[in-house]
């Protein structure tokens, strides 16, 4: 069992709760706010095949501290809030979507750099092989010329 990355956790939350986020209407009584969507840490954990406390801890202790912020008026904007009105364990969906987009972009940049490095290594290896082969062929032709000259 591997520990899920921030990207994997947020991708899972997005996938499981996007439809709930977009289907909210002002008169909807399923939750108190459109922005804060209640999430089930057990459901997310089952998808990721980890313990629910790992998911809760990552959302609350790590991701909220990393991406939540304070406004100029002193109020806090949380990525993950334990309680929003009557709702428990809520994710600030627009903020989470922004964080997720940034993490996806970082992953893309990483893979582009990695692919370029691998291609450069392949080109270098081929170039070295060609150089060595040409040098060996050049040495053989020089030996043949030297043998012919001594005869």
Tokens for 14, please give them: 């997005």
| Alpha-carbon span 89 to 39, nearest angstrom | 6
**Right CATH for 6-103 from 1.10.1740, 1.10.520, 3.30.420, 1.10.10:** 1.10.10
Per-residue model confidence (pLDDT) at position 28: 66
Domain boundaries along the sequence of the chain: 6-103
From first to last of its 151 residues, the chain has per-residue pLDDT tens of 689 999 999 999 999 999 999 998 876 677 888 899 999 999 999 999 999 999 999 999 999 999 999 999 999 999 999 999 899 999 999 999 999 999 999 887 777 888 888 888 888 888 888 888 888 777 666 666 656 556 5
Nearest alpha-carbon partner for 4 in 34, 61, 39, 44: 44
Alpha helices in the chain (DSSP H): 6-22, 41-48, 52-57, 64-67, 93-150
| Alpha-carbon span 25 to 48, nearest angstrom | 30
């Amino acid at each position: 069992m591997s520990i899920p990355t921030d990207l994997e956790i947020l991708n899972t939350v997005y996938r499981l709760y996007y439809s709930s986020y977009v289907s909210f209407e002002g008169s909807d009584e399923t939750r108190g706010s459109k922005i804060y969507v209640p999430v089930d840490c057990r459901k997310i954990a089952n998808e990721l095949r980890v313990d629910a406390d790992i998911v809760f801890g990552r959302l609350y202790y790590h991701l909220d501290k990393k991406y939540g912020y304070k406004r100029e008026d002193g109020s806090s904007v949380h990525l993950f809030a334990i309680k929003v009105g009557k709702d428990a364990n809520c994710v600030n969906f627009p903020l989470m979507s922004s964080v997720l987009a940034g993490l996806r972009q970082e992953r893309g940049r990483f893979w582009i750099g990695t692919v370029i490095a691998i291609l450069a290594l392949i080109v270098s290896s081929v170039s070295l092989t060609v150089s060595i082969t040409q040098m060996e062929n050049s040495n053989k032709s020089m030996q043949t010329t030297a043998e012919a000259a001594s005869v």
